[in-house]
Structure 1
């Protein structure tokens, strides 16, 4: 397994957020982490990337225990994070954003710009001048420039126009087809079904359902994902 999460528990002060979350992800697999708002998805991502310390449990990535590593060392093992909220380096140009994260490997600036041609057109512009969709493409491209073993996408299309969402989902499908391992947090079952091999649903900090996206439909989807 590329990623193994076992009995993960985490808290914000006295408020417990995760209650024994467990799942695993194979190399080359796309796994969707789903659930309503506030159910523990982003907290789980924060623990995996070591942005937050878990109370207990085990997180293993590429055969190594992450539980005591600082976030920068976990990232160097091959975790590429696209965080929630489009966090480009606003004062840097597109080119500078991409090169700031570059590590040796297949993903170069030229290859990122092939995936997202708009970034090539705006290479000299500061990130703060880009549209929201272009900023999100930039942040995904920046994560790819680290040449990650696992790309983690936390609500990568939230709040974007439908045409931009479609472009980003097309890029995610292309990445999956190329064998990129992906952990994706999103609410759109329709779009996740085009890329995810399996889903894990979180409810109140617990993993309550595991299975393929095709099986998460109808009453079951309404139970776990409906408003």
Structure 2
């Protein structure tokens, strides 16, 4: 069953158009990689899905028109976002960050602590005092506490040390294996994406230029549209 459907998506920042026709879908329980070079429209697509910027085109989630929803209603409908840059509530403690996002469902504070034990150790610390990797763990935990049907991770491993990246990827695999949650992943690590994603969608200059099974993603395609 299709959970998220995007067709002909266009979006602008003022007079500057950023998306010219993005098509993608995510089925229930599916992991989809959203790929492309920097500045090709990946984060703008995520912001459009989460209703953080205006957009046009077909945009539905669980059969409901997302265009009719403000961002907080899209979140309540079941879209959990781990945004680029983490954006934790700096002045709140780790526990308060998690509690602020909590909605009824299987993901509880204890379950997030089991996924990221470091968050349990730092429960009373302000988010601003955490390392970058710990803040990323907190951002993922906060999104899970909303008990989403679709988890969107926008560059969740960018700028982190290799050992921390490995922890984040291990956590994403655990979420997928234990819950079967639908996931939309924006990331540059082809090696890691190939291990977890079912399908890939590649953007170039604000348009979908390739979509298909992860196993069909050839070196020629990645070099043309993803490689530096």
Asked if these proteins are the same fold (TM beyond 0.5), I'd say yes
Distance across 2 between alignment mates of 1:104 and 1:165? 29
What secondary structure sits across from 2:28 in the alignment? Answer: coil
Please name the residue that 1:118 is paired with. 118
Query: Cα deviation per residue 1:6-39 (whole Å; 9 max; x = unaligned)?
Result: 1101111222111111111100000010000000
Please name the residue that 1:157 is paired with. 157
Please name the residue that 2:32 is paired with. 31
Return the offset for 1:58.
Answer: 1.0
Q: Does 1:107 align with 2:110?
A: no
Q: Does 1:224 align with 2:221?
A: no
Matches within 5 A, 1:180-219: 180-219=181-220
Return the offset for 1:139.
Answer: 0.5
Query: Cα deviation per residue 1:168-189 (whole Å; 9 max; x = unaligned)?
Result: 0011011111201101100111
RMSD of the TM alignment (CA)? Answer: 0.8
What secondary structure sits across from 1:183 in the alignment? Answer: strand
Return the offset for 1:109.
Answer: 0.3
Distance across 1 between alignment mates of 2:121 and 2:71? 33
Please name the residue that 1:129 is paired with. 129
Return the offset for 1:202.
Answer: 0.1
Whether the aligned pair in 2 keeps the contact of 1:173 and 1:195 (CA below 8 Å) is yes
Q: Structure 2: which 5+ runs fail to align? A: none
Q: Structure 1: which 5+ runs fail to align? A: none
Distance across 2 between alignment mates of 1:148 and 1:158? 23
Q: 1 or 2, which has the higher helix percentage? A: 2
Distance across 2 between alignment mates of 1:225 and 1:66? 29
How many residues are treated as equivalent by the alignment? 226
Please name the residue that 2:143 is paired with. 143
Distance across 2 between alignment mates of 1:217 and 1:117? 38
